[in-house]
Structure 1
């Protein structure tokens, strides 16, 4: 039996490698002879660097950069094919870098992400992949642009500070000192969302709450982004507010479009193509995918759906192992996943589930292979009857 495991991380509890290892252990309880191929996976968020560096035999670099709240953090980036840099903004400006009680989208900055881009330029790469999922920020990429040389000054001609709150002070935007190597480098943005910068479907309203914003806060944040967008139009003749993906990562998508001449792509589609997932599926009997939570948003560019679509094209059954699921996931099933198995096996708190994730995922892995074996046994029995 040949099994391909391609799972995203369970954010906060297990990375893509740990999830895959636990599922494999569960499989081996039942089918010790199973041949298991594990492929690290991400959709542009946390784990993007690891997924591509591992799959494509790249190498890592580490940089000390400015974290989301202005502190120093060590962030890694990857190099693949000798001249393509892989950057995940989650490494430098991600939500996982902040304690729950410290979440504050008015204060957080993308400056560290800009520093990672600059480090890649210093290395001399010709192309940069920027994964922009998992952000802690709502600054429209202004911090990133500052790190690359763009100046945002207030009415006193002083450089503004960090965070969305500082956008209110922008009076003058000067891109004359933007790192010109950007113009000689292809920037491809990997995102799993298509939200515009502003409005009810924009960065602040949709993603602000998970970054610590209240209902009142999202209204204020949205107005700050609108004011900034108008400044871009007035002073630089740049209009990106309504572009698809501009609202990704608290507006970092907008910043990359405005100052880095970037193109935005479906993160999971590009990554699955880069790791050549379809090649691994040719001889597979079963594909196992998964992520931390399956819900109504999963059909919009999330990793398991991307995996399922390729598997269905190859005529291979797909089972998803997830940390949790919504009550109604019919859309997920309609996209090609045959069965969703939740790792929760008894009433428990979120913290208990996260602390026991390896064991719970391993148990789910056993359920996967037993369910698949039952299907095959049933088909064999029907053939014998006929």
Structure 2
């Protein structure tokens, strides 16, 4: 038997690497002699850089950056080869970096994410993947673009900082100072959001509340975002509302498309390409994947859906070991997942399940492999 382990992290409890270790231990206990390999996987959100760097035997490069409130933070990006790098905005402009009592998207900026990209460009990387999940921002990507040399000016010609509150003041966008290295690079943006920049389904009204926006703040930000959109239309002849994903990460998607001509791709598909997942399926009898909770959302750009679909193309069956199941979890079966087992082995409070995540996962893996062994024994008697 040859197994490939490719599970998402279980948020707040198990890393992708830890699931590989536990699955390997359980498979060896049940089967004795078997061949196992594992690869860390993520879907383009927080943890994507670490997962891809480990899978590619790359290197984490630390960079001092300004956080969402312009405080100094230690950011990082990943070196994958002499030409390839990967970064995630969660490392510089992520929501967990802002204390709950200070969350207000009028005050936050993507400037630090721009600093991360500039550091990668300065180091000579020309193929750069950018994961934009988990932002604390709603600045239309102004801060990000400012770090790369683009200037946003008000009616009097004053340079704006690039926070959410500045959207309503933008009158002109000066591209003359854009870092020339941008023209020599190709950018792949990991994005599974299709929201436009403005409107009821746009960046502000869809995602602003979770970033600390009150109804009054969101109304002000939306008016500012409409002004920003209109300036882009006037000066670039591009309507961001007609670009799928322009509303991602508080409008950073729009800045990436309009100013950097970036390519938008599914997060999990990009990760699977970067870690050469298809080649890892060679000779594999079973893939084991999983996540903390499986429900209908798992079918939309998440790890299990991506791993299942890719494996199905190579006719490799996939089993899943998950923390729990939610509404319409069975829809994942249409994406190459043959069976699902849960780690919990009885009714228990959520805190108990989280506190004992490692032990429960290991016991669940034993049950899964013993069940698989039973099927193999039945097959021998046919």
TM-score between the two structures when normalised by the length of structure 2: 0.90
SS of 2:39's equivalent?
Answer: strand
Structure 1 residues 205 and 375: CA distance shift in structure 2, 3 A? farther
- 1:188·1:265 contact (CA, 8 Å) conserved in 2? yes
| Residues 1:63 and 1:20: Cα distance change in structure 2 (over 3 Å) | same
Question: 1:229 deviation in Å?
Answer: 1.1
**Residue 331 of structure 1: CA displacement?**
2.1
Name the CA distance, whole Å, in 2 between partners of 1:208 and 1:380. Answer: 57
Hey, what does 1:41 align to over in structure 2? Answer: 41
Residues 201-258 of structure 1 show CA distances to partners (whole Å, capped at 9, x for unaligned) of: 3323333344344566555544432222112112333322221121222221111111
Distance 1:45 1:218 in 2: 24
Alpha-carbon contact 2:89-2:135 (below 8 Å) kept: yes
Give the deviation of 1:123 after TM superposition.
Answer: 0.7
Listed as ranges, the matches of 1:220-299 within 5 Å are 220-299=220-299
2:125 counterpart residue number: 125
The Cα RMSD (Å) is 2.4
Give the whole-Å Cα distance in 1 for the aligned partners of 2:101 and 2:353. Answer: 20
TM-score, normalised to structure 1, is: 0.89
Tell me if 1:326 matches 2:302. Answer: no
Check 1:185–1:211 CA distance in 2 against 1; reply closer, same or farther (3 A cut): same
Mapped to 1, the partners of 2:43 and 2:221 lie a distance apart of 26
Q: Is the 8 A contact 1:26 1:364 kept in 2?
A: no
Q: 1:219 to 1:332 in 2, by over 3 A?
A: farther
Match of 1:342 in 2: 342
Q: 1:374 and 1:198 mapped to 2: Cα distance? A: 55
For the residues of structure 2 that align with 1:208 and 1:342, how far apart are their CA atoms? 33
Matches within 5 A, 1:1-386: 1-213=1-213, 218-381=218-381, 383=382
Contact 2:289 2:321 survives alignment (8 Å):
yes
Q: 1:322 to 1:240 in 2, by over 3 A?
A: same
Output one character per residue of 1:42-97: Cα deviation in whole Å (capped at 9) or x when no partner: 22222222232222232221101011232221112112221112111111112333
Alignment partners' CA distance in 2, 1:235 and 1:183: 19
Consecutive unaligned residues in structure 1, runs of 5 or more: none
In structure 1, C-alpha distance between the alignment counterparts of 2:277 and 2:353, rounded to whole Å? 30
After TM superposition, give the deviation of residue 29 of structure 1 in Å: 4.1
What is the distance in 1 between the residues matched to 2:290 and 2:226?
36
Cα 1:377–1:306 shift into 2, 3 Å? same
Counterpart Cα distance in 1 of 2:362 and 2:115: 39
- Contact between 1:193 and 1:300, CA under 8 Å: does it hold in 2? no
Contact kept, 8 Å, 2:107 with 2:164, in 1: the verdict is: yes
Q: How far is the alpha carbon of 1:116 from its aligned partner?
A: 0.7
Separation of aligned partners in 1, 2:315 and 2:84: 33
Local SS of the residue matching 1:241: helix
